[in-house]
A and B are shown apart, each in its own frame.
Chain A
Amino acid sequence: MGRPAGTRRLVTAIGPALAPAAEPRAALMAPPSEPVLEFRNMRVVYDNAIEAVRDVSLAVPERGVVALLGSNGAGKSTLLKAMSGLLYTEEGVLENGSVLFRGEEVHRLSPDELVRRGIVQVPEGRRVFVALTVDENLQMGGFAKPQAAARRKLDQVFSLFPRLAERRGQIAGYMSGGEQQMLAIGRALMSEPVVLALDEPSLGLAPLVIDRIYEVIARLRDEFALTVLLVEQNAHRALGIADYGYILENGRIVLDGPAADLMGSEDVREFYLGVSKEGAKSLRDVKHYKRRKRWLS
Chain B
Amino acid sequence: MRFLAEILLSGLAIGAIYGIIAIGFAVIYKTTGLVNFAQGEIAMIVAYIAWTISTTLSGNVFVVTGGALVAAVLLGLVIERVVMRPMLGEPVFSTVMVTIALAVILRSSINFIWDAYPQALNLGVGRDIVRVGAVGMRTGQIAVIVMLLALLAGFWLFFRYSRYGIAMRAVAGDDRTALLMGISTGRVHAVAWAASAAISGIAGIFFAITYDVSPAMYEIGLKSFPATILGGLDAVIGSGFGGLLIGVAENLAGGYLGSGTKEIAGFAMIIVILMVRPFGLFGQRDIERV
Contacts and interface: CB of A to CB of B under 8 A. Distances in A.
A171 interface: yes
Contacts of A136: 166, 169-170
B215 to A, nearest CB: 40
B34 to A, nearest CB: 17
Nearest to A127: B177
A112 interface: yes
B181 A173 contact: no
Chain B residues touching A, range: 20 to 34
B181 A115 contact: yes
Interface of B: 89, 163, 166-167, 169-170, 173-174, 176-184, 284, 287-289
Contacts of A121: 180
B180 A173 contact: no
A136 B169 CA distance: 10
B69 to A, nearest CB: 27
Contact of B183 (A112, A132, A173): A112
Interface in A95-131: 110-112, 114-116, 120-121, 123, 127, 129-131
Nearest to B166: A136
A26 B257 CA distance: 82
Nearest to A136: B166
Residue in A84, A120, A136 with the greatest tally of chain B CB atoms within 10 Å: A136
Contact of A112 (B174, B184, B288): B184
Contacts of A174: 287, 289
A187 B181 CA distance: 8
9 contacts: A89-B89, A111-B182, A114-B182, A123-B177, A127-B177, A132-B166, A139-B166, A140-B178, A187-B181
Nearest to A135: B166
A274 to B, nearest CB: 30
Nearest to B284: A131
Contacts of A123: 176-177, 180
A32 B181 CA distance: 30
Contacts of B180: 84, 86, 111, 115, 120-121, 123, 127
B166 A115 contact: no
A141 interface: yes
Interface in A13-34: none
A181 interface: no
A36 B182 CA distance: 20
